[in-house]
Amino acid sequence: MQSENLSTREKILQAATELIVDKGFKETTTKDIAASAGVSEMSVFRHFGSKKAILVAIMKQYSFEYPIENGLREQLIWELEHDLLLLAEMQYHFNLRNEKAILIRFKESKNLLACDIDVKRDPSLLKEFLVWYFDEMYAQGKILKADNEKLAIHFMSFNFGLFCNKMLDVYGPISAISKKEEIIFGAKCFARGIQP
């Protein structure tokens, strides 16, 4: 999206996101945000009222809701390897789209808590979805009996780890294996480990 096509509000959010990722929330001033967005500081306050409100808006702008209820259930075919690959790719690409907001979540956890932003809500929704999926697969006799909450957490952690490795690629990739191959391999290994 080109800067000239953005509304003033979007320019402010874009500038604030970049600055908070680079400098941190505390070190970023509304004056910095205004200068980076190419607007007056008064515009920043007119649109948001406070720096905290900007942080809240940034976190709301990035959709942390996994597309669970938007067609994901319908894409499941109840074949373990296929479904786990679908879910792994969804989580990985979702994390890539929300990379800056994830970085802010790590860097600014105390400020997010102070703003009453629930950073556990959306990962908890994904975990509950995965538990439901594993429960259904067990009921169909397609996976071994296990603690499905633990399975869900480990599956999420593996996929988040791939995303973290991708973020470290700025230093050079740690492997010549593509992320696509890693995701496919991981889904296959996970499926093999829980099949009867």
CA nearest to 23, candidates 96, 95, 103: 103
Confidence (pLDDT) at 71: 75
Confidence (pLDDT) at 63: 60
Q: Is the dihedral of CA 133, 138, 144, 146 positive or negative?
A: positive
Could you read off the pLDDT of 80-135 as tens digits, one per residue?
999 999 999 998 888 888 888 888 888 888 877 777 777 667 788 889 999 999 99
Could you read off the pLDDT of 123-170 as tens digits, one per residue?
888 899 999 999 999 999 999 999 999 999 999 999 998 888 887 777
Confidence (pLDDT) at 175: 79
Tokens 């959709």 correspond to 63
CA angle (127 as vertex; 147, 177 as ends), nearest 5:
95
pTM of the model: 0.80
Residue 12 near residue 51 (C-beta atoms within 8 A):
no
CA nearest to 153, candidates 195, 120, 112: 120
Alpha carbon distances (Å) from 13 to 3, 69, 161, 196:
12, 27, 28, 49
